[in-house]
């Protein structure tokens, strides 16, 4: 997301170098205790983080003072100040269309975050014609299970680089998504979204993430079990980083220690699997 908003830029323009630089910046923030690591990948890289409440409040206040972004709940802001905004977050239902109707000069938005229950959210966006939008995040509560119609006009957002759909969203991305020339990331989280096959033809696309709850998929679990059973243990020693001081089988594990887990042995453990040798 930092790269999509061009907050991280390298002179060469190389995307890989930009991602490495972004990771270095994130690790630097962690080392300065400005953010806390909430989750890591199997190889120790940061995949989730959080920020202290006091520091979060300070960042929000500074962002408002500098007009970096605007958060909209129910009351509309001062038109003279919001017309210069490039980033807006919505937390209310059926308020976005009214907000933009009262502030028609906001079509040059760069980032839009919507946390809403409104199933017509995309129709409102396309009517407003955000041609300069680079980051779009739509999050509907997972227990709502809203069927959302995503119109073809989404393909008119030619500057869109980062698209994230999360929560109780069901529907399908239009084929016009392939026409978005700068789209680099499509991130679907806990949603039932059909993605057109033509998206693979998109040359700038670097990340296509479908983060559904795979643990509830019986065939997927069976495929994992069979893979772990057939493959030798050598390549299946998974490194994990201990997040805190702990004790494992009588051994004291210090915080930050890399522990290699034998996934092959786990795959044959009868306490975990029923008839693991079958």
Where helices occur in 164-276 by DSSP H, the ranges are 218-230, 263-267
For residue 35, what are the β-bridge partners?
Answer: none
Backbone angles phi, psi at 165, to 5 degrees: -120, 125
The C-alpha atoms of residue 241 and residue 259 are separated, in whole angstroms, by: 6
Neighbours of 208 (CB within 10 A): 15
SS (H, E, C) 227-252: HHHHCCCHHHEEEEECCCCEEECCEE
> Given this model, what pLDDT does residue 229 score?
66
The C-alpha atoms of residue 57 and residue 71 are separated, in whole angstroms, by: 13
CATH 3.80.10.10 residue ranges of the chain are 52-212
Q: For residue 152, what are the CA distances in angstroms to 11, 149, 245?
A: 35, 10, 52
Instruction: Report the phi/psi class of residue 94: left, alpha or beta, with left for phi > 0 and alpha for psi in -120 to 50.
Output: left
pLDDT tens track of the chain, all 278 residues?
878 887 887 776 666 788 888 889 999 999 998 999 988 877 788 888 899 899 988 988 888 888 788 777 655 555 555 666 788 888 876 666 677 667 666 667 888 888 877 777 776 666 666 778 899 988 888 776 767 778 787 888 888 999 988 887 777 888 888 888 888 888 887 777 888 878 877 878 888 776 655 555 556 566 666 766 665 545 455 566 778 887 766 667 777 777 766 666 666 666 666 776 66
> Given this model, what pLDDT does residue 28 score?
92
The C-alpha atoms of residue 72 and residue 89 are separated, in whole angstroms, by: 6
> Given this model, what pLDDT does residue 193 score?
80
Residue of 75, 126, 127, 83 whose CA lies nearest to 108: 83
CATH dotted code for 52-212: 3.80.10.10
């Amino acid at each position: 997301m930092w790269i999509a908003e061009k907050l991280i830029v390298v002179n060469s323009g190389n995307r890989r170098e930009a991602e490495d630089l972004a990771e270095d910046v994130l690790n630097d923030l962690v080392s300065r205790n400005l953010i806390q690591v909430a989750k890591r990948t199997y190889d120790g890289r940061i995949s989730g983080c959080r920020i202290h409440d006091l520091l979060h409040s300070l960042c929000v206040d500074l962002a408002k003072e500098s007009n970096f972004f605007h958060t909209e709940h129910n009351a509309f802001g001062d038109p003279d100040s919001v017309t210069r905004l490039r980033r807006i977050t919505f937390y209310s239902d059926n308020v976005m269309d009214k907000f933009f109707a009262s502030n028609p000069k906001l079509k040059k938005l760069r980032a839009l975050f919507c946390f809403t229950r409104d199933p017509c959210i995309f129709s409102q966006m396309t009517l407003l014609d955000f041609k300069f939008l680079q980051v779009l995040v739509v999050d509907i509560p997972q227990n709502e299970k809203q069927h959302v119609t995503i119109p073809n006009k989404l393909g008119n957002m030619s500057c869109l680089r980062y698209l994230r759909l999360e929560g109780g969203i069901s529907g399908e991305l239009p084929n016009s998504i392939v026409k978005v020339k700068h789209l680099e990331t499509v991130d679907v989280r806990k949603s039932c979204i059909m993605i057109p096959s033509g998206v693979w033809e998109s040359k700038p696309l670097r990340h296509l993430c479908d983060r559904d709850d795979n643990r509830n998929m019986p065939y997927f679990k069976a495929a994992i079990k069979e893979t772990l059973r057939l493959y030798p243990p050598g390549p299946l020693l998974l490194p994990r980083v201990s997040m805190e001081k702990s004790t494992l089988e009588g051994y004291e594990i210090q915080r930050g220690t890399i522990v290699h887990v034998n996934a092959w042995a786990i795959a044959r453990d009868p306490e975990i699997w029923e008839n693991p040798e079958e």
